[in-house]
Every structure is written in C-alpha cells, then in structure tokens.
C-alpha cells in the first residue's frame, strides 16, 4: 500500500487533527497530502503503520470463548482476555477519543460491533457471549430511586435500586444474555461508598436477582507495575464452579517492579519522535515534559502550605528506584501525582504518554494516536492490564465446566482448586 493510500486509511479511521498529532505535523499538511497537492516524505508510511494502524491481527481461534467489552476505554480488558484465547464480539465506549485509540489497536474493527452509548442499546441486540467484561463507572445513586418495577417482572428487582446508574445497563444485559461468567472492575472506594450500601446493592443484584455465584477482591496493581493502584475486581459465574482467589499468582508487593522498568532509557527500544530526541546518540525526553519554573514553584509552595497544616496534599516525586502513586485521569493538568526527578539542578518532569502506557502494563506495540492530554486521561482511566490478565488466567479454565473450549494460559498453570 502506497503512502497516499495509507493516509486515506488513517483519515477514514481518525480525524485530521489526530493524524497530524500522531505524525507530528500541521493539520494543513495532512489535508494537502490527502488532496494529493503535495507528496508526503518517505518516513510517513512507517510512521502511520507504527503509530496509527493496528499491529496485531484479531485472534484467529474461532472456537475460543466469546466476550463483550463494555465501558471499554482503550481496550485494557480486551487485551488481557485475548491473551487467554478470548474473542471479542461486541464493544461499547462513549468517548470519541478513547474509541480512536481502541480502533487503532485492534485489527478487526471493520467487522466488529462497536457502539457508543450503551444506554441506548437494546439488550436483545447484544451478541451472545460467554464472558461479560465491564469497567463500569460508579455514579452515586440512591436506593430509593425512581422505580422500574416491571424490569425482569420483579416489582422490587435490581432496576428499582440502581435507577440512573450505568451498573443497571450491565445488569440488564446479564439478565437478558445470561453469560457464563462476568468480570467487573471499579475503584476500591466502591466498597465503602454510601457506608457500604452501594456495594451491598450491587452484590445483591448479581447474586439474588441475577442468580450468579459472586467473588470479589481488591487487587493492587503494584504486584505487576511500579504503581500503587488498588481496584475492586468482581467475578461471577452463572453456575457453581470451584473458583478461588487462592489460585492467583501475585508477585510479592515488596518485590514488584520499580520505575526504572517503565522510564525511557538512553537506548530506549521504542524511539518515538513525539516524546524523545537524540543527543549524542542517546534518547532524551523532550524538554516540554519538564515543568516550568512557575509551575514547579507553585507545586512546591502548595505542598509546603498543606504540610504545615498537617495535610498530605502535595506532589509525588519519584526516581528510578521508586514506586509511583496512582496515575489519575487528571494527570494532564500538572502531573503532580507522579513527577520524575531529574536531579537537584533541574526541574522534575511529567511522564510521557508512552511511560504512562507502560505504567498501566501495555506493551510498546500499543498505539497512542491522540494528543498527550487525551492520552493522559485514557491511561489514567485504564485498568492495569496484567492484573486483569492474571484474573482471566484463573477464570478461563472454569469456562470448561460450561462446555466452552478454553485456551491454556502460556507459561503458567492454574493451581488445583
């Protein structure tokens, strides 16, 4: 495929500005290339393939288990379950920019059902599937909400208690499609929200109203990545199976990787011009990621002010030997929760989007076709991929109880239940 054809393909999948950002050129330049007014440089073909077009093919195993990916974000859960033989048959994600990143990383999107607002999708139109995945947003809700007494034919069913929340959409799809299993992920605070009533309602819906055997556990991403990130994982099976969290193979927290494993190196294996420049044959992070004197002074003074009041607010400064705080979706604002030390004589810097991807457990083949601001939001909202992959590893063998072929996990064998 020639360069003009690649540009056309990229523009069919992404907007002009996104393509321009990925190629580090002006949007007007991209428009001129698209209109055949000028010829793009020779490097553009490789840049498009590396930064915009999916690298890996969709799983060829048609006999593997089928799953759907709700509130998919940029595809962290899908990435994890594909590693264990799953095949995604349906995706929902409302954010346009997250959709672009998702579509840039999965090769089957042309024939794949991808919807935006799941609240507008009739549950009967969702494809049949074996496993439902959902990193659903947890919005505050009242138990005494507006009633939907006719849902599932139960006058006091789950919809009555979760009216107006996106968990309702997960529940109504489970009720209609009855998947063999599900995995839900949310923030740790879901357990304590509204004095525990929110979580109690969710478990009641899954167990009593929907009839699933449910297991939940808070897992820290620090087992696999150099980041303190605790999330609640809720797993359910339609029938009773000998699932147990004891089968998890979690590296000791105090032996987890450090920041050196994700920071750019002098010989960085993935040299991306939007983040790095070369100085004396070494890869160096661009200066625009270093904090300005004004911002660094503000953050420093802000931390001192709150320390004097006995508060813990302030920036998080890390070196290659440390573990970072939780990466949040607000990281684009000032980067204060994770600042990389550059020594006493230089202001610290933000992580680059590639470093954020690594911090969430994505490998370097993962495409980042959006601006830094969008990328920071997306990775801050993502799951830690190896955490979900490890949970998938101990879930998948139990699908065989339902007659679903399960691909054996590579390199690890589940312990006896």
CA 313 – CA 298 distance, rounded (Å): 13
Pair of tokens at residue 79? 């990435």
Residues 6+ apart with CB under 8 A from 58: 87, 106, 107, 108
Neighbours of 45 (CB within 10 A): 17
Query: Residue 198: which of 140, 147, 276, 271 has the closest Cα?
Result: 140
Find out whether 250 and 412 touch, Cβ atoms under 8 Å: no
**What ranges in 240-313 are assigned the alpha helix state H?**
293-308
Find out whether 82 and 102 touch, Cβ atoms under 8 Å: no
CA Rg value for the chain: 23
Residues 368-396: b if buried by 16+ CB within 10 A, e if exposed: bbbbbebbbbbbbbbbbbbbbbbbbbbbb
Neighbours of 318 (CB within 10 A): 22
Catalytically active residues are: 138
Residues in the chain: 417
Strand, coil or helix: 220: strand
């Amino acid at each position: 495929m020639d360069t003009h054809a690649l540009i056309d393909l990229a523009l069919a999948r992404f907007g002009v500005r996104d393509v321009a950002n990925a190629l580090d050129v002006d949007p007007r330049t991209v428009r001129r290339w698209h209109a055949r007014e000028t010829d793009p440089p020779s490097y553009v073909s490789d840049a498009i393939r590396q930064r915009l077009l999916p690298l890996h093919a969709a799983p060829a195993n048609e006999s593997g288990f089928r799953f759907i990916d709700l509130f998919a974000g940029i595809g962290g859960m899908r990435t994890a379950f594909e590693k264990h033989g799953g095949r995604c048959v349906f995706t929902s994600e409302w954010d346009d920019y997250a959709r672009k990143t998702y579509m840039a990383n999965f090769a089957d999107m042309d024939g794949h059902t991808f919807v935006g607002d799941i609240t507008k999708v009739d549950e009967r139109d969702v494809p049949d599937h074996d496993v439902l995945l959902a990193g659903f947003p947890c919005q505050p809700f009242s138990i005494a909400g507006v009633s939907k007494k006719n849902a599932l034919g139960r006058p006091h069913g789950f919809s009555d208690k979760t009216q107006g929340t996106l968990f309702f959409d997960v529940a109504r799809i489970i009720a209609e499609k009855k998947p063999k299993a599900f995995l839900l992920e949310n923030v740790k605070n879901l357990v304590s929200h509204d004095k525990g009533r929110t979580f109690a309602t969710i478990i009641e819906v899954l167990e009593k109203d929907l009839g699933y055997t449910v297991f939940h556990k808070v897992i820290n991403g620090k087992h696999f990545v150099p980041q303190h990130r605790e999330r609640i994982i809720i797993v359910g099976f339609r029938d009773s199976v000998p699932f147990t969290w004891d089968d998890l193979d979690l590296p000791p927290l105090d032996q987890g990787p450090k920041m050196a494993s994700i920071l750019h190196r002098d010989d960085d294996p993935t040299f991306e011009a939007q983040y790095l420049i070369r100085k004396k044959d070494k890869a160096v992070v661009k200066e625009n990621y270093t904090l300005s004197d004004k911002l660094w002074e503000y953050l420093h003074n802000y931390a001192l002010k709150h320390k004097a009041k006995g508060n813990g607010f302030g920036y998080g400064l890390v070196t290659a030997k440390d573990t970072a705080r939780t990466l949040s979706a607000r990281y684009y604002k000032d980067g204060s929760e994770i600042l990389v030390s550059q020594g006493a004589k230089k202001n610290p810097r933000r992580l680059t989007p590639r470093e954020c991807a690594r911090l969430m457990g994505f490998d370097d083949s993962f495409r980042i076709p959006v601006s830094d601001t969008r990328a920071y939001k997306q990775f801050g909202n993502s799951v830690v991929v190896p955490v979900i992959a490890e949970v998938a590893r101990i879930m998948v063998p139990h699908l065989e109880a339902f007659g679903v072929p399960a691909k054996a996990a590579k390199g690890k064998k589940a312990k006896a239940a």
